[in-house]
Structure 1
Amino acid sequence: MASSSKPEKIYDVFLSFRGADVRKTFLGHLYKALDQNGIYTFRDSEELRKGDHISTTLMKAIEESCIAVIIFSEDYASSWWCLEEVARIMECKEQKKLTVLPVFYDVDPREVRGGRESYRRALAKHESTFGKDSEEVKRWKKALFDVGNLSGWHLNDG
């Protein structure tokens, strides 16, 4: 029997988040609950090994996951790395049928998809760094718009 060219899924869940916002609060509880239920989850502080090339490891982990949970917090868009993750996640949603589950943690989906408030400010800052018409910023804006239109969970006040 011929082997499939389809890459094997290694992780059940990939968690995308802005560490400073949620690492010691919501994310810790979510990761613990997933782990206790036998759900193999990629979280950068647990899965990155010393000496690993971070970008390669993270992009591969996204591709090798069945589900991506994106925790959108107030400062998520201030990290160009988080924006790279969300862009790759949305590409994998289209190309590899990755299931994407957004969590809007003290932010409104309209802010994520429309570039309002902290997201607008963060994207304006990235535009000044990368250029208003840069391909990176265009990819990030499209990914945020697309994921902001997905049904997800809205969490406020913890």
Structure 2
Amino acid sequence: MASSSSSSNLEERHEVFLSFRGEDTRKTFTSHLHAAFKRMEINTYIDYNLERGDEISGTLLRAIEDAKLSVIVFSKNFGTSKWCLDEVKKIMECKKTRRQMVVPVFYDIEPTHVRNQTGSFASAFARHEERFMDRPNKVQKWKDALREATNLSGWDCSVDRLESEIVEEIAKDVLQKLNRVYVGDLDQEIAKYKQLATHQWRYFLRAPHAAGLFQNYQATLKHIDKLEMERHHRLLRTPPNMYTDADGSNANNDFYNMWSNIFRF
């Protein structure tokens, strides 16, 4: 299933289309994954509309086409939804025609059940084949799309790990595939410590001879320097030790501190 992060504003640009079976994961895994995308500032098109027609809407088709990457959350009842199957078919078409990236996620379902339509997918497709006896090609296209999607490198959530860790890793994987770098967490930390440094400096001015106040202030500034350097490393995609000596000290420590102090005061 999938509509915009704001649910209805198609004009809002999105990078990722999130396909999922609502009754399986809307309030659990998919909501956590969507929250992780939002936290990492990944614009996502997700549809929470519960009313479905027989055919996939033109709005959703355009949303899939406009995405750079689609995430498909396969679950036990995914195969029962013609809507979800149409989304997968369209996603795989866009992979071929628009070179769209696709990330399959298997939640509470074995990848082989999806690929070969066994397990819960077997009964679902038996009903589809009965309903569409006059259109066997339609069901076959769904099967082909599922096989293509499950043959891609993806994420198996059945492994014995915390769901929060898996969600975080999927979000980071999507961010990397989009060739983007997230520094929002560091910006928040930097802002917090800068506020702390401001308060520490004010306290020091009121009591300049109080033991430890200036040392605490300097320690906070040093920590801010470390966070800002890490931010630069992420943005430039450089190794964390690029500007350090073998012993971990800054190769230009004196020079760096001199200029930091000049601009700071």
Matched, 1:141 2:134: no
Out of 87, 104, 107, which is 2:109 matched to?
107
1:106 CA displacement: 1.0
Out of 23, 28, 31, which is 1:28 matched to?
31
| 2:75–2:109 CA contact under 8 A, matched in 1 | yes
Q: What amino acid sits opposite 1:73 in the alignment?
A: S
Matched, 1:13 2:40: no
1:133 CA displacement: 5.4
**Cross-structure match for 2:154:** 152
**Cross-structure match for 2:126:** 124
Out of 37, 41, 65, which is 2:40 matched to?
37
1:91 CA displacement: 0.5
Q: Which string of whole-angstrom CA distances, capped at 9 and with x for unpartnered residues, describes residues 38-87 of structure 1?
A: 111000128x9xxxx96111110000000100000000000000000000
Q: Distance in 2 between matches of 1:64 and 1:113?
A: 26
Q: What amino acid sits opposite 1:18 in the alignment?
A: R
Q: Between the two proteins, what is the percent identity of the paired residues?
A: 47
1:16 CA displacement: 0.3
Q: Which string of whole-angstrom CA distances, capped at 9 and with x for unpartnered residues, describes residues 118-146 of structure 1?
A: 11111111010011752210110000111
Q: Distance in 2 between matches of 1:105 and 1:14?
A: 17
With the length of structure 2 as denominator, give the TM-score of the two structures: 0.52
**Cross-structure match for 1:5:** none
SS of the residue 2:48 aligns to: helix
Q: Distance in 1 between matches of 2:21 and 2:140?
A: 20
Structure 1: runs of 5 or more not aligned: 1-9
**Aligned pairs, number:** 145
Which range moved further: 102-111 or 133-142?
Answer: 133-142
**Cross-structure match for 2:83:** 81
* Structure label with greater radius of gyration: 2
Alignment RMSD, CA only? 2.1
With the length of structure 1 as denominator, give the TM-score of the two structures: 0.86
| 2:56–2:83 CA contact under 8 A, matched in 1 | no
